[in-house]
Amino acid sequence: MQLCLVGINYNTAPLAVREKASINVEKLGESLSSLHRDIHRGVILSTCNRTEIYASGSDSTSLEKAGMLFLQTLTGSKGAAGENFIYILKNVEAARHLFRVAGGLESMVVGEYEILGQVGQALEAAGKAGMTDLLLNHIFQGAIQAGRRVRAETGISRNALSISSIAVNLAEETLGKLSGRTMLVIGAGEAGRLVVKVARDRGVSRIAVASRTHERAAALVQRVGGIPVGLDSLPQELARADIVVTCAGAPHRMLGTNQIEKAVQSRGGRPIVIIDIALPRNVDPEVANIPDVSLRNIDDLTNIYETNREGRLSEIVMVEEIVEDEMRRLAAWWKALEVRPLVSALMAKAEEIRDRQLGKTLKKLRPLSAEEQESLEAMTKSIVNQILKDPIQQIKADGDGEHARLMSELFQLDAEKRK
């Protein structure tokens, strides 16, 4: 059984490419159906930092090609240009990457907690679509277990920054203290909730929350504060806000140059800071060219990301140790899975010989009672099991598969037919 990972992330692809490949929760089922045409067993992990396809099957080359085609179709970047954005990992290295992702090591914001839930959601969605198997389930569950250990045994997620909190930090760097400022948050999901919470803690005096549905905005402000507004109120709120943070899961731009230009005209020269942390982006990049507007996106937060990473170097070492510990467990299980057909073939052949020879022996003996036959049956089975115990352990522990090949040749086993 082979595992193949094909993906793009913030290290390999620019924002303009990543946003095309972004798949929100509502579209995940549809995307899995599309993937299923070429990959029968696979999981899609899509966050604001990455889109990755984890696929299992017998032919890693075909999995690689299908995964690349899927991502290139999403991004519209086919051929050599599209390949430059994509990374490919296989088997143990693909699994190790997922364990590191779940542990928060591969995130823009090292130690972010949200990624652990996203890994679980990706597995759950693939399971509902009927696209998981024993290998994918075990590897993803192992990654989740590693991620939980990381949070419980290290401090990497303690007081960790999130993209939402970094957005508020950036606004503070640009405008100075936020007390007395007004903010507009577009998006009432988890990212929006975190923005509102951090902004309130920093002293923002008025926070308006806009969402596609008034109910979602109202539910959010009921939990963390703020004022719910409808999208039809955006012109007035844009004219009023000092800071705008956009984090809506919309497939299209929500703020364009015309809207912002009109808002700027009514502000009397007051600057406005717009921070777009959505993927795909909510704000037309051309807005950055409008006077008195400071537009930042998710990739503009790099300096704060690096500062966060440097402050967690000691924790990173501990996380890597946990990842490697969990990887050893996975490697042992995977090895046992790989040799399972061979072990089954060996046991089946031994059982066939035992049963045949026992039958011949019973014909030569006086009639035995049921109890005597059961005792003889149990004894011969025990002998076979004891003889095969050490060879089977050697096969499972074998690192390069040499013992498995030798065993297959010596006993003339056709393991492939028993898979």
Quickly list H helices, 25-182: 25-36, 60-75, 80-83, 91-102, 114-128, 134-153, 163-175
Q: Compute the half-sphere exposure of residue 145: CA atoms within 13 Å on the CB side of its CA.
A: 14
What contacts 231, CB < 8 A, 6 or more positions away?
Answer: 210, 211, 212, 254
220 in Cβ contact with 196 (< 8 Å): yes
3-state secondary structure (DSSP) of residue 294: strand
CA distance 167 to 234: 20
What contacts 53, CB < 8 A, 6 or more positions away?
Answer: 5, 6, 7, 35, 39, 42, 43, 44, 67, 70, 71
Strands 206-211 and 87-90: unpaired
Does the CA dihedral 173-179-184-188 come out positive or negative?
positive
Q: How many CB atoms lie within 10 A of CB 242?
A: 21
342 in Cβ contact with 413 (< 8 Å): yes
Q: How many CB atoms lie within 10 A of CB 265?
A: 11
CA distance 376 to 368: 10
Of 179, 189, 155, 183, nearest in space to 167 by CA: 183
3-state secondary structure (DSSP) of residue 227: strand
Residues identified as active-site: 48
**First CA to last CA distance, the chain:** 10
Of 258, 264, 190, 188, nearest in space to 230 by CA: 188
Q: Name beta bridge partners: 7.
A: 52, 87
55 in Cβ contact with 41 (< 8 Å): yes
